[in-house]
Amino acid sequence: MPDQTPFLHISKITKKFGSVFACDSVTLQLQQGEILALLGENGAGKTTLMNILFGHYVADSGSISIGGKELTPGSPRRALKVGLGMVHQHFSLADNMSVLDNITLGTESMFGLWRKSGEARQKINKLINTYELDVDPRSIVKNLSVGQRQRVEILKALYRDSRILILDEPTAVLTPQEAEHLFATLRLLVDKGLAIIFITHKLREVMAVSDRCLVLRHGKVSYESRTRDTDVDTLAREMVGGEVPVVEQLPTSPGKKVLSLEGVGVKNSDGYSLLHDVSLELRGGEIIGIAGVSGNGQSHLADLISGLLSADKGSFELLGEAVVSPTPMGMLKRGVGRIPEDRTGTGLVGDMNVQENLILENYWTKKVSHFGLLKADFMRKNAKDIMEQYDVRCGGEDLPVRLMSGGNMQKLILGRVLSEEPSVIMANQPTWGLDVGAAAFVHSRLIRASRDGVGIIIISEDLDELFKVADVIQVMYKGTLSPPVRPADTDAREMGLAMSGHLEVFASTVAEAHHEA
Amino acid sequence: MDILHMFLEVGFWMAVVRMATPLLFGTLGELICERAGVLNLGVEGIMAAGCMAGWTWVYMGGDLWGGVLFAAAVGGGIGLVHAIFTVHLGLSQHVTGLGITMLATALSSFVFRMVLPDVTTPPKIIPFAPLDIPILGDIPLLGPVLFNQSPLTLLAIFMVFFIGWFLKYTPAGLALCMTGENPMAVESQGLSVFAIRTCAVVAGSALMAIGGAFLTLSAFDAFYIGMVNGRGWICIALVVFSSWKPSKALVGVVLFAVFDALQMRVQQDISMVVPYQFYLMMPYVLSIAALILMSRRSAYPKALLVPFRKGER
């Protein structure tokens, strides 16, 4: 039973970066035996708050107490000592070392002459059994699946007898089944008296696992409620700060084939197989969603279609012509638009301004340059047009793009791609890290483009996104694609099975569904 | 041909072990730095500084072990400079290391000239005498080769096992290796990446300097400018050869020393038709060949060369 004095008490924490309030007088209480869901869009202040809690940042004002005692600000060591444990979204594990090494690091005196590995293994095994965290302490981290790595992170915290566990977007990298398993573990943990803060933006998970939820918006607590007294719509409204934009669904009528892969295999320079036996058929007016846990070859597929990799097996056709030794520019010229995964790395050049970034993919065309000289008038007008059409809000077309928000950057890329009227668009994680408004904008523009006859491939790790926008979904696992399936013919459970390697679950529903359309 | 005969000779193997000693110190020192994620290209210069510091101490009237300690302190000090630049300021490890080598090499010669402005032949000191261990020294072949040596040689061999144990079985060793693999993991467990890397670079550099001191206090009895003669660079290659493991470092060092000793014997043989420079080249060619074969498979520390900055992911 949770007692009534809060175990963790964050009181009026305020932190400013420059003139922006990252956290504005945030107050948060957490009881033992309770799961609190912390919700908010990107930039709402969740991460900053947790970094303050862990002593990575020092707050401008406010205080934190744990178990009635004030926590010294600015010391990760103290935070660990009083029982705070954090599972980061990006794991901090050493890949070449064993699970045991990763867990016991820093828990013994640095002047010890011999590590107490035997005792450590016993304690870890006990934790594994108590909390059903199935993982072998002797295995090397690089051989573990993503789900297992997360368990190692949780074990790291439990091994230090953490009493408060904070999980930052823990399900982003998991299949639905693995997420279920995680939730079960969390319930076990709170039953034993731990307190858990669960950071997420997926509302279904909040309802499934939390006791209480708290919404942050622009650095302020905008809403707080018991989970059973609220619902998904309220939470969504509170997160966005208004009505949630609805993505309009338009009827689809796929036209002729624009891109096809048949039995395609790709190897890297070491002869290691990146993709094998990938088959896909994309028609104009259709959106194919590629699902899968990250790192299963999705980025190689995107590279293949963008002309960065070439197939060494199977056939690759674009608009009815075979693609032989492709180049990135060649693919652009043949009508493939690209929305890359890494906006700032491969999508845009941060130090160049909006005008320059917008002509990166067509600077050689007559409308942009003449005898090798860029047309300044065109560039300025082009930038103004795209910024207006795609609702890019920033300080003007002379602004270096690195100063823009992620949403505005993505809108620029979207504008650059769509204004060239491609016949195929290869979008890799097009809404990753965007707030709900920007994501809805990207979705609706992509859907509209597809209904105008463009064939679109969207790679995403977010199943909800694919169910929302894709006409057909294929699952990628270890470099292979499953047969296509329509979202209406499947569910999250089946998708989860496929994402963990059971691609055959779609073998029966297969292509007849796809082709009758 | 009497090469076979040579391999059975005690004198040959004694020479091998003698030649291996400075390389062993240098390689182990570099290995410690790199396991913590810091490449130390200053090794050539730090060894030169060790040569000079050790010799000067003894020449000024200090005793031999005092010279070794002084050399280690000087090496550690130079290591600290390297650590401040590469770890705390996060500057390029390549550029800093090369700078350290140039600075330390030149400074050693400079100080030597300051101490002895007017001398043309370098003055001699009385170096370490070979040990005379009763029972162990009487074992045939192995006795004289391993035990009838300078005490620094035994120290070097001991260090192989000590460092192997340290990295594998102590909490501090685990923290050091982890820092070279993923500094973020270390930071999130409440340890200081800066402190660990600084300690590793200082300790590693001290070892390198002892390797240098061996040259003036044991192998020879005087200081010559340029006497390190590329040994430091070889140590860097040997660390790659060793796949960052002390035991394999020992194998690599001995292998290199065998080639080197062979080369010296063969070039003395006047009946040889091949010019002696060919043999001079052999150890380097063979070590390059071995490197190519070995390093394809080696698992280098993942965070080697990556500066760590607090609060960044």
Structure pTM? 0.80
- Burial class for B291, CB neighbours closer than 10 Å (0-12, 13-18, 19+): middle
The verdict on residue B301 lying in a domain is no
Using a CB-CB cut-off of 8 Å, the residues of chain B touching A92 are: 182, 184-185, 187-188
Quick: pLDDT tens for B88-138.
999 999 999 999 999 999 999 999 988 888 877 888 899 998 888 888 878
The range of the structural domain enclosing residue B267 comes to: 3-295
Interface residues of chain B, partner chain A, Cβ below 8 Å: 169-172, 174-175, 177-178, 181-182, 184-191, 299, 302, 310-311, 313
Contact across the interface for A96 and B181, Cβ inside 8 Å: yes
Using a CB-CB cut-off of 8 Å, the residues of chain B touching A104 are: 171, 174
Using a CB-CB cut-off of 8 Å, the residues of chain A touching B190 are: 76-77, 79-81, 106
Distance CA B302, CA B313 (A): 15
Distance CA B302, CA B186 (A): 13
Residue A346 CA, distance from chain mean position: 17
Q: Are residues A288 and A312 in the same domain?
A: yes
Confidence label for B313 from pLDDT (cuts 50, 70 and 90): very low
Contact across the interface for A112 and B186, Cβ inside 8 Å: no
Distance CA B244, CA B249 (A): 7
| pLDDT, mean of residues A170-181 | 83
Most confident of A39-48, A217-226, B18-27: B18-27
Contact across the interface for B175 and A109, Cβ inside 8 Å: no
Contact across the interface for B172 and A86, Cβ inside 8 Å: no
Name the residue facing A95 among B181, B189, B190 (closest C-beta).
Answer: B181
Contact across the interface for A101 and B170, Cβ inside 8 Å: no
Q: Are residues A102 and A221 in the same domain?
A: no
Examine the pLDDT at A247 and tell me if it is beyond 90: no
> A433: helix, coil or strand?
coil
Q: Please compute Rg for chain A using Cα positions.
A: 25
The verdict on residue A185 lying in a domain is no
Contact across the interface for A96 and B302, Cβ inside 8 Å: yes
Dig out the tokens for A429 from the structure. 């994680």
Higher per-residue confidence, B116 vs B200 = B200
- pLDDT score, position B89: 93
Examine the pLDDT at B82 and tell me if it is beyond 60: yes
Name the residue facing A90 among B299, B302, B313 (closest C-beta).
Answer: B313
The verdict on residue A252 lying in a domain is no
Task: Please report the DSSP string for A227-243 in residue order.
Answer: GGG--HHHHHHHHHTSP
Beta strands in A108-190 (DSSP E): 164-168
Count of structural domains within chain A:
3
Examine the pLDDT at A516 and tell me if it is beyond 60: no
Dig out the tokens for A490 from the structure. 């499947």
Which residue of chain B comes nearest to A86, CA vs CA? B188
Q: ∠ CA(A399), CA(A403), CA(A408), 5° rounding? A: 85
Cβ-Cβ contacts under 8 Å between A and B: the total is: 76
Which residue of chain A comes nearest to B172, CA vs CA? A110
The verdict on residue B303 lying in a domain is no
Return the percentage of chain A with pLDDT > 70, whole number: 97
Q: Smallest Cα–Cα separation from A159: which of A109, A100, A118, A91?
A: A100
Contact across the interface for B175 and A106, Cβ inside 8 Å: yes
> A325: helix, coil or strand?
coil
- pLDDT score, position B76: 97
- What does the mean pLDDT of chain A come to? 88
Q: How far is A105 from chain B (nearest CA, A)?
A: 6
Name the residue facing A92 among B182, B310, B311 (closest C-beta).
Answer: B182
Examine the pLDDT at A83 and tell me if it is beyond 70: yes
The verdict on residue B223 lying in a domain is yes
The verdict on residue A456 lying in a domain is yes
Using a CB-CB cut-off of 8 Å, the residues of chain B touching A93 are: 182, 185
Q: Are residues A362 and A459 in the same domain?
A: yes
Using a CB-CB cut-off of 8 Å, the residues of chain B touching A15 are: none
Name the residue facing B311 among A56, A81, A104 (closest C-beta).
Answer: A56
Look at the block and give the residue holding tokens 């040596």: B149
Contact across the interface for B302 and A94, Cβ inside 8 Å: yes
- pLDDT score, position B17: 93
- pLDDT score, position B2: 66
Q: Please compute Rg for chain B using Cα positions.
A: 20
The verdict on residue B36 lying in a domain is yes
The verdict on residue A251 lying in a domain is no
Q: Are residues A367 and A491 in the same domain?
A: yes
Contact across the interface for B177 and A97, Cβ inside 8 Å: yes
Using a CB-CB cut-off of 8 Å, the residues of chain A touching B177 are: 94, 97, 101
The verdict on residue A2 lying in a domain is no
The range of the structural domain enclosing residue A214 comes to: 7-83+163-170+190-243
Examine the pLDDT at A2 and tell me if it is beyond 50: no
Are A473 and A280 a contacting pair, CB within 8 Å? Answer: no
Q: Smallest Cα–Cα separation from A413: which of A469, A359, A336, A334?
A: A359
- pLDDT score, position B296: 66
Q: How many CB atoms lie within 10 A of CB A82?
A: 17
Distance CA B20, CA B156 (A): 9
The verdict on residue A38 lying in a domain is yes
- pLDDT score, position B234: 92
- pLDDT score, position A91: 84
The verdict on residue B186 lying in a domain is yes
Q: How far is A281 from chain B (nearest CA, A)?
A: 39
- pLDDT score, position B311: 55
Q: How far is A381 from chain B (nearest CA, A)?
A: 38
Q: Are residues A127 and A73 in the same domain?
A: no
Dig out the tokens for B28 from the structure. 């182990």
Count of structural domains within chain B:
1
Are B148 and B131 a contacting pair, CB within 8 Å? Answer: yes
- pLDDT score, position A143: 85
Confidence label for A86 from pLDDT (cuts 50, 70 and 90): confident
- pLDDT score, position A508: 60
Using a CB-CB cut-off of 8 Å, the residues of chain A touching B175 are: 105-106, 110
Contact across the interface for B182 and A95, Cβ inside 8 Å: yes
- Burial class for A242, CB neighbours closer than 10 Å (0-12, 13-18, 19+): exposed
Q: What is the CATH number of the domain that holds A423?
A: 3.40.50.300
- Paired sense of beta strands A313-318 and A257-267, if any: antiparallel
Please name every residue paired with B103 in a beta bridge, in sequence order, or none if there are none. none
Distance CA B241, CA A237 (A): 60
Contact across the interface for A92 and B184, Cβ inside 8 Å: yes
Dig out the tokens for A26 from the structure. 């945030």
- pLDDT score, position B306: 86
Higher per-residue confidence, B221 vs A509 = B221
Name the residue facing A102 among B185, B187, B299 (closest C-beta).
Answer: B185
Q: Are residues A138 and A261 in the same domain?
A: no
Contact across the interface for A105 and B170, Cβ inside 8 Å: no
Examine the pLDDT at A428 and tell me if it is beyond 90: yes
Are A235 and A223 a contacting pair, CB within 8 Å? Answer: yes
Q: What is the CATH number of the domain that holds B62?
A: 1.10.3470
Measuring CA to CA, how many Å separate A16 from each of A25, A40, A46, A240, B181? 11, 18, 14, 22, 34
Are A490 and A326 a contacting pair, CB within 8 Å? Answer: no
The verdict on residue B300 lying in a domain is no
Quick: pLDDT tens for A136-147.
999 999 888 888
Amino acid occupying residue A268:
N
- pLDDT score, position A512: 47
Distance CA B125, CA B216 (A): 9
Q: Helix B193-214 to helix B151-169 angle, to the nearest 10 degrees?
A: 160
Q: Are residues A232 and A273 in the same domain?
A: no
Look at the block and give the residue holding tokens 């040990």: B131
Q: How many CB atoms lie within 10 A of CB A364?
A: 12
| pLDDT, mean of residues B250-259 | 91
Residue A295 CA, distance from chain mean position: 12
Interface residues of chain A, partner chain B, Cβ below 8 Å: 51, 56-57, 76-77, 79-81, 86, 88, 90, 92-97, 101-102, 104-115, 156
Are A462 and A292 a contacting pair, CB within 8 Å? Answer: no
Q: Are residues A103 and A14 in the same domain?
A: no
Quick: pLDDT tens for A256-294.
899 999 999 998 877 788 998 999 999 999 999 999 888
Look at the block and give the residue holding tokens 């035994």: B154
Q: How far is A172 from chain B (nearest CA, A)?
A: 17
Using a CB-CB cut-off of 8 Å, the residues of chain A touching B187 are: 76, 92
The verdict on residue A138 lying in a domain is yes
Of A230-234, A301-305, B282-286, which gets the smallest average pLDDT? B282-286
Sequence-distant (6+) residues with CB within 8 A of A78 are: A55, A71, A72
Contact across the interface for A92 and B187, Cβ inside 8 Å: yes
Quick one: three-class SS letters along A247-292?
CCCCCCCCCCEEEEEEEEEEECCCCCEEEEEEEEEEECCCEEEEEC
Q: Smallest Cα–Cα separation from A462: which of A492, A484, A441?
A: A492
- pLDDT score, position B297: 64
Q: How many CB atoms lie within 10 A of CB A372?
A: 7
Distance CA A216, CA A42 (A): 10
**If you count them, how many residues does chain B have?**
313
Q: Which of A145, A162, A179 represents a domain boundary (last residue)?
A: A162
Q: Are residues A347 and A271 in the same domain?
A: yes
Q: Are residues A237 and A270 in the same domain?
A: no
Contact across the interface for A106 and B187, Cβ inside 8 Å: no
Using a CB-CB cut-off of 8 Å, the residues of chain A touching B299 are: 96
Contact across the interface for B187 and A76, Cβ inside 8 Å: yes
Distance CA A512, CA B5 (A): 80
Dig out the tokens for A292 from the structure. 């899968």
- Burial class for B281, CB neighbours closer than 10 Å (0-12, 13-18, 19+): exposed
The verdict on residue B310 lying in a domain is no
Number of helical H runs and strand E runs in chain B: 14, 0
Using a CB-CB cut-off of 8 Å, the residues of chain B touching A113 are: 170
Q: Are residues A387 and A464 in the same domain?
A: yes
Which residue of chain A comes nearest to B184, CA vs CA? A92
Using a CB-CB cut-off of 8 Å, the residues of chain B touching A97 are: 177-178, 181
Higher per-residue confidence, B161 vs A87 = B161
The verdict on residue A300 lying in a domain is yes
Cα atoms in the Cβ-side hemisphere of radius 13 Å centred on A47: 11
- Paired sense of beta strands A455-459 and A424-428, if any: parallel
